[in-house]
């Protein structure tokens, strides 16, 4: 799963998708385009939240139709589920909302695949309850879990790679979020920081451990991204990283 943090515009989304489709096609990597249609989880009230819900969702549908690929987007409220499900193939539950029963059930009721990010405050084993909530209303639902680190004090995250096999033991594919796991939240300025130079470290280790997939936010110019630029991978660095990851995957 890869793409920008948020949908900033049509041309940007299509350009990023075009680049990644070409790379993943050449390397034989299954690909889901990621883009948030809105950002409801900003620290500061002045932060960018989106270009308009349906406008962004229509862009996600255009990406899917243009390149023949599935798409995934975040939802933050139960009412978002049915709306987003009209446009995308997978609904994503943000980490800090992974215990919200009504949100999980609303996502399940759409019949779409659901990717649940593990809360920064939860153990891997506790994610079984998120799966149970989804399957209580959609027994055959396609569910994935995503590891994105655990809080380490007030302003940092740490990745415990034991979480990957433990969540895999719950019988679902497990994805490693290689960019959000490097966030440095709760900064004084109200904008989350990051440590993007370690993205390749997180990704290589996750593939070596046996992750089923990777989640990478990427942008042509992270410094000018409207959301989460501090922990995104520059788009021109993605190819070299994916080549390394395929070699590691083949080795194990």
Give 170's strand partners. none
- Output the domain CATH number for residue 114: 3.20.20.70
CB of 64 closer than 8 Å to CB of 33: yes
Domain extent, residue 81, equals: 2-251
CB of 66 closer than 8 Å to CB of 23: no
Q: Would you give per-residue pLDDT tens digits along the chain (252 residues)?
A: 999 999 999 999 999 999 999 999 999 999 999 999 998 775 556 567 779 999 999 999 999 999 999 999 999 999 999 999 999 999 999 999 999 999 999 999 999 999 999 999 999 999 999 999 999 999 999 999 999 999 988 878 999 999 999 999 999 999 999 999 987 765 545 455 567 799 999 999 999 999 999 999 999 999 888 876 778 999 999 999 999 999 999 999
**Whole-prediction pTM:** 0.92
**Whole-number Å distance between alpha carbons of 8 and 209:** 34
**Whole-number Å distance between alpha carbons of 109 and 132:** 13
Burial class (CB in 10 A: 0-12, 13-18, 19+), 56: buried
Number of domains in the chain: 1
Q: Write out the H or E segment, with its range, that includes residue 95.
A: none
């Amino acid at each position: 799963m890869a793409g920008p943090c948020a949908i900033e515009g049509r041309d940007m989304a299509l350009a990023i998708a075009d680049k990644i489709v070409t790379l993943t096609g050449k390397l034989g990597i299954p690909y889901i385009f990621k883009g948030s249609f809105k950002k409801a989880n900003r620290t500061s009230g002045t932060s960018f939240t989106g270009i308009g819900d349906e406008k962004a969702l229509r862009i996600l549908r255009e990406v899917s139709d243009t390149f023949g690929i599935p798409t995934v987007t975040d939802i933050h409220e139960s009412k978002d589920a049915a709306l987003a499900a009209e446009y995308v193939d997978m609904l994503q539950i943000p980490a800090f909302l992974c215990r919200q029963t009504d949100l999980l059930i609303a996502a399940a009721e759409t019949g779409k695949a659901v990717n649940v990010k593990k809360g920064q405050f939860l153990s891997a084993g506790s994610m079984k309850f998120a799966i149970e909530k989804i399957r209580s209303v959609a027994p055959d639902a396609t569910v994935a879990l995503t590891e994105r680190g655990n809080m380490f004090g007030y302003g940092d995250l740490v990745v415990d790679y034991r979480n990957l096999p433990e969540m895999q033991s719950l019988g679902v594919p497990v994805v490693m979020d290689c960019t959000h796991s490097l966030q440095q939240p709760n900064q004084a300025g109200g904008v989350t920081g990051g440590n993007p130079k370690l993205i390749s470290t997180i990704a290589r280790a996750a593939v070596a451990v046996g992750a089923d997939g990777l989640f990478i936010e990427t942008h042509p110019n992270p410094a000018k991204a409207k959301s989460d630029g501090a922990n995104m991978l520059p788009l021109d660095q993605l190819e070299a990283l994916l080549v390394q990851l395929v070699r590691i995957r083949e080795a194990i």
